[in-house]
A and B are shown apart, each in its own frame.
Chain A
Amino acid sequence: MPRTPLRELKVIVGNENVLDHPVDLATYEYDACLARQDPLAVVFVRSTEEVAAVVRVLARWGLPFVARGCGTNLSGGSLAPPGGVVIEMVHMNKVLSLDLANRRLVAQTGIFNLDISTALASYGYFYAPDPASQRACTLGGNIGENAGGPHCFRYGVTSNHVLALEVVLADGEVMWLGSKEADSPGLDLTGVFVGSEGTLGIATTAVLRLLHLPEAVKTLLVVCDSLEQGGNTVSALVAAGLAPSTLEMIDNLTINAIEDSLACGFPRDAAAVLLVEVEGLREEVLAVGEQVTTLCRQVGVREIRVARDESERAALWRGRKGAFAALSRLAPNYLVADGTVPRTQLPVALRKIKQVAESHGLPVANVFHAGDGNLHPILLFDSRDPAQHERVVAACRDILAVCTELGGTISGEHGIGLEKVGAMPLVFTESELRAQHLVKEAFDPGGLANPGKLLPSTSELAAGQSDQSLGRRDRAEATTGFAQKGALHA
Chain B
Amino acid sequence: MPDRQGYTSGEWASSPTAEQQQVQPDHPSADQTAPPVLRPTDENQVAALLASASADGTALAIRGGGTKAGWGNPLRRLDHILSTEELRGFSHADADNLTLSAAAGTTIAEARAQAEAMGRVLPLDPRFPSRATVGGVVATADQGARSAGYGGVRDVVLGVRAVLADGSVVKFGGLTMKNVAGYDMTKLFVGSFGVLGVITEVTFRLLPRPQSQCLVILPLPSYPEAKTTIARILDSYLQPLALEVVSRGSGETPYLLAGFAGHPAAVARSVREVKDIHPAPPEAILSDSEAEALYEALAATGPAGTVAGTVGTRASLPLSRVIDLVEAVERLAAQHGLSLAFRGNAARGMVDLFLGLKEQKASTSAAGPSGATSADGPSGATSTDGPFATTPADPAFAGTRAAHLAACLSALRATAVAWGGSLVVTQRAPLLPPSFDAWGDPPSAVIIMRRLKERFDPQGVLNPGRFVGGI
Query: Which residues of A are in contact with B by a Cβ distance under 8 Å?
Result: 99-104, 124, 145-146, 148, 152-153, 156-157, 159-160, 175-177, 179-189, 191-192, 194-196, 212, 214-215, 235, 238-243, 280-284, 286-288, 340-344, 369, 372-374, 407-416, 420, 424, 427-429, 431-436, 438-443, 445, 454-455
Contact = CB atoms under 8 A, between A and B. Distances in A.
Contact of B178 (A183, A239, A413, A416): A413
Give 8 closest A-B pairs by Cβ, nearest first: A241-B208, A191-B187, A239-B96, A283-B265, A215-B237, A442-B451, A412-B178, A431-B168
Given A99-B318, A374-B178, A454-B182, 8 more contacts: A153-B177, A212-B237, A280-B262, A340-B176, A407-B176, A409-B176, A432-B172, A435-B456
B266 A341 contact: no
B94 interface: yes
Nearest to B444: A175
B421 A181 contact: yes
B192 interface: yes
B185 interface: yes
Interface in B170-185: 170-172, 174-185
Interface in B289-321: 314, 316-320
B445 A436 contact: no
A343 B178 contact: no
B443 A344 contact: no
B94 A344 contact: yes
Interface stretch (B49-57, B60-68, B147-155, B277-285): B147-155
Contact of B319 (A101, A157, A195): A101
A415 B180 CA distance: 6
Interface in B144-171: 147, 151-152, 154-155, 164, 168-171
A186 B238 contact: no
B263 A372 contact: no
Contacts of B208: 240-243
A180 B422 CA distance: 11
Contacts of A429: 170
A194 B183 CA distance: 8
A341 to B, nearest CB: 7
B237 A192 contact: no
B177 A340 contact: yes
Given A215-B237, A281-B239, A179 B422 contact: yes
Given A182-B316, A411-B181, A443 B448 contact: yes
B452 interface: yes
B467 A186 contact: yes
Nearest to B120: A241
B448 A101 contact: no
B235 interface: yes
Given A283-B269, A416-B182, A191 B445 contact: no
B36 interface: no
Nearest to A291: B263
Contacts, number: 268
Contacts of A159: 154, 184, 187
Contacts of B468: 185-187
B265 A181 contact: no
A48 B125 CA distance: 39
A411 B180 contact: yes
A186 to B, nearest CB: 4
B89 interface: no
A351 B250 CA distance: 66
B180 A413 contact: yes
A181 B182 contact: no
A186 B96 CA distance: 35
Interface residues of B, number: 85
B352 to A, nearest CB: 11
Contacts of A287: 263, 265-266
A192 B184 contact: yes
Contacts of B94: 342, 344
Given A176-B444, A185-B422, A186-B443, A191 B180 contact: no
A416 B170 contact: no
A288 B211 CA distance: 11
Nearest to A341: B176
B328 interface: no
Contacts of A409: 174, 176, 179, 181
B184 A185 contact: no
Contacts of B95: 239
B237 A281 contact: yes
B181 A427 contact: yes
B151 A156 contact: yes
Determine which residue in B147, B422, B448 has the highest number of CB atoms from chain A within 10 A of its CB, and name it: B448
Interface string B420-455: 111010000000000000011011111111011001
Contacts of A145: 180
Contacts of B169: 431
A280 B444 contact: no
B331 interface: no
Contacts of A180: 318, 420
B119 interface: yes
A366 to B, nearest CB: 16
A185 B182 CA distance: 25
B191 interface: yes
Given A412-B176, A424-B181, A241 B349 contact: no
Contacts of B350: 182-183
Interface string B340-352: 0000000011100
Contacts of B234: 103, 212
Contact of A181 (B98, B422, B440): B422
Contact of A412 (B180, B236, B263, B452): B180
A212 B164 CA distance: 41
B97 interface: yes
27 contacts: A101-B318, A124-B235, A146-B180, A159-B184, A160-B155, A179-B316, A182-B152, A182-B349, A183-B348, A184-B443, A187-B452, A187-B468, A188-B154, A188-B188, A192-B184, A192-B188, A239-B95, A283-B265, A343-B177, A409-B181, A411-B179, A411-B181, A412-B178, A413-B178, A413-B180, A432-B182, A443-B451
Contact of B349 (A102, A186, A215, A280): A102
A154 to B, nearest CB: 11
Interface string B98-111: 11000000000000
Contacts of A175: 444-445, 447-448
Nearest to B235: A212
Nearest to A186: B468
Nearest to B209: A241
Nearest to A281: B266
A408 B99 CA distance: 13
Contacts of B449: 186-187, 189
B391 interface: no
Contacts of A280: 237, 239, 262, 266
A281 B239 CA distance: 8
Contacts of A187: 188, 191-192, 196, 448-449, 452, 467-468
A369 B180 CA distance: 15
B47 to A, nearest CB: 10
Contacts of B170: 429, 431-432, 435
B144 to A, nearest CB: 12
Given A192-B187, A195-B183, A455-B182, A177 B445 contact: yes
